[in-house]
Amino acid sequence: MAKEKSLENKNAGYKFLFKYISRHKFFYLLSIVFAILSVGSFMFQYYSVYKLTILLLNGKADALIYYRPWLITLVISLVLCELFHIFSTSISHIATFKVIGEIRLEVTEKLVKVPMGYALSRPFGVLKSIIVEKVESVEPLLAHAVPELTSKTLIPIVLVVYIFSLDWRMGLASMATLPISYIFLLIMMKDYKPRFEEYTNISKNMNARAVEYINGIQVIKAFGRAKSSYKQYEDAVVLNAEYGVKWMRKVAVGTSGMMAVLPAILISVLPIGILLCINGSLTYATFILIVILSMGIFGPLMAAMNFVDGLSSANYVFSDLAEIYNYPPIKRNNKNISFKNTDIVVEDLKFSYEIRKNKDNIESEKIEVLKGISLKINPGDVTALVGPSGSGKSTIAKLIAGFWDWQEGSIYFNGVNAKDISLDTLNANIAYVSQDNFLFNESVMENIRKGNINATDKEVIEAAKASGCHEFIMNLENSYRTIVGSGGGHLSGGEKQRISIARAMLKDAEIIILDEATAYSDPENEAIVQDAVSKLIVGKSLIVIAHRLSTITDSDQIIVINNGVVENKGDHKYLMDNCELYKDMYNAHISAKDVPIIKEEK
């Protein structure tokens, strides 16, 4: 049973790929039909040469009329062979591009449905490499494998059968190099699967290091870590290259031996054929035809063998895609619920993160973050979650927003379990603004419009005015048509936050979660942001996470989270009198506020 499961896992990539190929089987079958027709046309070339050879040996050299039909047949078969091959590869390319497009769309769509931790626990370089480069790398294989493998394997089979039909002894002679070549093939393929798997993992690590180095270039420069960071990338590249060279050295004998022996068919065909011709049991015309035919056997076969690496690569690439696609999504039912005047109840909520233990992201372990959280958020209240870094504040907010799934406990909206509410319904009624909100490489107008794709330009501008960012937007080069750059890189942190708040205002959700949403605001703009937030939350339920405790003192409820549990809750005055942790945090914040940096005397 375990062996069957292991085999199933090893072939997961092929099964995943076949599911998509089967959707377009008509095109692939049509490609095979044209490939077979191409092979048939190819064989007519040999037959035409055979007939021309017979005529030549029979002394018909002066009578062109005898040669004309077979010359015409030869030309026609050449043209048809190429045309059928073009039709076959064109059809397979059309099907392949459809398959690749569907795979990319459905896998990326699946990423939206799985817990965020699944994607965040893997380097973005690895995911990007799998979905973009790796899928693209197998396009030539998928597009050519069907027609090429069909023709490249059919041609040798047809040629050998033809030779056997002419003379069985010469048929055996034409296959004399096959057993020796097979021995060299076994040497070449020894430990192929584990080596290929290791090489694939090394390549993944190299891709992850490359993306990490590029994404972190600002930090690397700021802290003078170019040398050490580049060393990690360099080591990954060198390891990839060295492993490839080492592998090639190990298979060099087998590869060279097979490449040398397999096509050396004339070593057996010529002497045996000559002996048979001498004793009169084989005609010279048949001998010449067999020599011509035998020289065409192993060329296509060796070309077909070039697909071996590609087929193995496809299995590993699509195994990675299958892992993403088959990862359990966040499960939700589709119960109808009104989010108007919603109260939120959290009961004994427990949650653990999956953390990758090593740089290769192979092994993982679970870290418990929430150890039994219970709390209630009343409709229309402002509820603040505070506590030390790593205490679980943001995790609670993300669980409420539906970004993660939890192991134990429950979350209720108006008495309805969150797991009975579809993610689409939840997303439509909750606006989430964090300190690191992502902006797309589009215009300011379109980034704000993400909050409501049906909003008019006028509504977008009104949301921008309400959030206090209309003025700085109008000062941009193309105002609302300005492209913000990848991740909003052309804007400051404060500007990105205000655009994110405008986006949330445009969404007009009933529940708003602000996770350090004013973290990047300088003192000059903080009042603008706070005013925008106060407009955003009118008639809404607000959950706010803040390290600046001075910004949440007027909250209806402040919940202190410490080490994954609720330590205390109440308003600001109550907590200052009854919660030592909150009091210490607040006093530390106030004392640190506006403290000048003083150069210490030596």
CATH number at residue 388: 3.40.50.300
Last residue of a domain, one of 264, 292, 326: 326
Residue 65 tokens read as: 């009329």
Q: Is there a single domain that holds both residue 308 and residue 408?
A: no
Is 278 inside a domain boundary?
no
Is 117 inside a domain boundary?
yes
pLDDT of the residue at 2: 36
Q: Is there a single domain that holds both residue 374 and residue 306?
A: no
- CB atoms near residue 456 (< 10 Å): 10
Tally of domains within the chain: 2
Q: Is there a single domain that holds both residue 306 and residue 365?
A: no
Domain encompassing residue 148: 2-166+302-326
Q: Is there a single domain that holds both residue 119 and residue 154?
A: yes
Q: Is there a single domain that holds both residue 405 and residue 317?
A: no
Residue 599 tokens read as: 């150069």
Residue 163's nearest CA partner among 178, 174, 179 is 174
Could you list the mean pLDDT of each consecutive 10-residue stretch along the chain, which spans 602 residues? Answer: 43 77 86 84 79 73 72 88 88 87 81 70 65 74 76 80 87 84 77 74 74 63 56 76 79 76 81 88 83 79 69 71 76 76 84 62 66 84 83 84 82 85 81 77 86 85 82 84 76 79 82 72 59 66 79 83 85 85 79 48 45
Integer Cα distance of 505 and 536 in angstroms: 6
Is 331 inside a domain boundary?
no
Q: Is there a single domain that holds both residue 378 and residue 308?
A: no
Is 226 inside a domain boundary?
no
Is 471 inside a domain boundary?
yes
Q: Is there a single domain that holds both residue 319 and residue 455?
A: no
Radius of gyration of the chain (CA): 35
Q: Are 254 and 183 in contact (CB under 8 A)?
A: no
Last residue of a domain, one of 292, 326, 360: 326
Residue 40 tokens read as: 């048939």
Q: Is there a single domain that holds both residue 396 and residue 502?
A: yes
CA 272 remoteness from chain centre: 56
The angle subtended at Cα 410 by Cα 408 and Cα 411, nearest 5°, is: 140
Q: Which strand ranges, in their side-by-side order, compose the sheet holding 364-377?
A: 364-377, 344-356, 408-413, 416-417
The angle subtended at Cα 510 by Cα 507 and Cα 512, nearest 5°, is: 75
Is 519 inside a domain boundary?
yes
Residue 147's CATH number: 1.20.1560.10
Is 246 inside a domain boundary?
no
Q: Is there a single domain that holds both residue 405 and residue 318?
A: no
Is 577 inside a domain boundary?
yes
Q: Is there a single domain that holds both residue 316 and residue 350?
A: no
Q: Is there a single domain that holds both residue 310 and residue 400?
A: no
Integer Cα distance of 409 and 573 in angstroms: 30
Q: Is there a single domain that holds both residue 417 and residue 493?
A: yes
